[in-house]
Amino acid sequence: MRFRKKKEQQPTTTCAEKSLLQLSYQSILRATNGFSMQNLVGSRSFGFVYKGVLEENGAFIAVKVFNLLNRGASRSFLAECEALKHIRHRNLVKVLTAISGFDYQGNDFKALVYEFMENGSLEDWLDRSTGMHELETTRKLNFFQRLNVAIDVAHALEYLHHHGETSIIHCDIKPSNILLDEEMVGHISDFGLAKIFFGDKLNNSTNQSSSLGLRGTVGYAPPEYGMGSELSTKGDVYIAMVSFCWRCLPEKGLPMKGSKKV
C-alpha cells in the first residue's frame, strides 16, 4: 500500500552499465567553495559530507570526503565503491562518481559524489534540534510520510538482499543513513559497512575481519552481532525496525541519539 503517487518504475541496472561523471579534485573543490563550513551538511564516521554545485551544469551534488587519518576510512571507501558498483534502485542514493588521488598538499584524497538529497536525512526530520532543517520548526513528518519512508526502505532492502547482482547486507540502516529527496522519497545511503555475498560466500576482498562495521552502530545492531554471530539479511531488517519503532515510540527507551559504531 502506498500513500504517495508512485513514479514509473525505473529499470534496475548496475553502475557499471552507466558511464560515471568525470570529475577532478579541482572541480569538486570549486563546487564546494573549498570544502567550506557553509557547504558542510553532515558528518559520517569516516569523513564529512558537503553540498556542491557543478560549474558545468549547475547541478547540486553531495560530496562525501573521507578522513583518511581515521582508522578504517580507506577500507570503508573501497567497501562502498565495491557495493555501489553492483546496485541501482530508485530507493538507493545514486553515486555519480568516485575520486581517488591527491590534494594540493600531496596528501591522499578519496571522495564519493552523489546526487544531492534536498530534504536531508530522516534523522534531521525526527530530531528537530540537529540537522539541516533545525530552524524550520514548523515542518515535521506526519504518520503517512513516515510510513512511506518505511516502505521505501523496505523496497530498497528487498532489492539489496534478493534482486541485485549480488546479495548485499547494509549493516547500518539508521535514520541518519536514510535520505529524503524533494518529494520525500526515502533513499538508503552510506555503504561503508556493507558486506557483499557472491552466492553464499562473503566477499573478503574488501571486507576483512576486523572491528570495522561487523556490528554496525551500537544500539541499532542486533545483539547477536556483538557476540560474533554471522551477518544476515535478517540483521538489516532488525536494524530498520529498531530505527522506525524507536522514532515512532520514543518513550520505549530504545537506542539514543549519538550511538556509536564499533
Average pLDDT over residues 170-177: 90
Q: Specify the 3-state DSSP secondary structure of 173.
A: coil
Instruction: Identify the residue whose cell numbers are 570544502.
Output: 35
pLDDT-derived band at 259 (thresholds 50, 70, 90) equals low
Tell whether the model's pLDDT for residue 66 goes beyond 50: yes
- DSSP secondary structure string for all residues of 183-232: T--EEE---TT-EEEETTEE--SS--SSSSSTT-BTTTS-GGGGGTPPP-
Residue 13 reports pLDDT greater than 60: no
Q: Which of 146, 207, 206, 210 is nearest to 178 (CA)?
A: 146
Residues 15-115: name the CATH superfamily.
Answer: Phosphorylase Kinase; domain 1 (3.30.200.20)
Mean pLDDT of 178-205: 82
Once rounded to an integer, what is the mean pLDDT over residues 140-150?
Answer: 90
Per residue in 129-144, pLDDT (tens digit) is 555 545 454 468 888 9
The mean pLDDT of 165-189, rounded to a whole number, is 93
Q: Are 98 and 106 in contact (CB under 8 A)?
A: no
Sign of CA dihedral 119, 125, 127, 129: positive
Looking at residue 201, its pLDDT comes to 56
Question: Are residues 89 and 188 in contact, defined by beta-carbon separation less than 8 angstroms?
Answer: no
d(CA 21, CA 19): 7
- Cα four-point dihedral sign 82, 88, 93, 98: positive
Q: What is the pLDDT of residue 227?
A: 77
pLDDT tens string 33-44: 999 999 999 887
Q: Which residues belong to the active site?
A: 172
User: What would the mean pLDDT of 51-75 be, rounded to a whole number?
Assistant: 94
pLDDT, tens digit, 9 for 90 and up, residues 73-119: 999 999 899 888 888 899 999 999 999 999 999 999 999 999 999 99
Residue with the bigger pLDDT between 71 and 210: it is 71
Between 221 and 172, whose confidence is greater? 172
Angstrom distance (rounded) from CA 69 to CA 85: 25
126: exposed, middle or buried (C-beta count within 10 Å: 0-12, 13-18, 19+)? buried
The architecture CATH gives domain 122-252: Orthogonal Bundle (1.10)
Give the residue range(s) of CATH 3.30.200.20 domains in the chain: 15-115
Separation between Cα atoms, residue 63 and residue 142, nearest integer Å: 30
Q: Residue 141: how many CB atoms within 10 A of its CB?
A: 17
Return the residue matching grid coordinates 544531492: 116
What is the location of CATH 1.10.510.10 in the chain?
Answer: 122-252
- Return the higher-pLDDT residue of 127 and 98: 98
In this predicted structure, the answer to whether residue 179 has a pLDDT above a threshold of 80 is yes
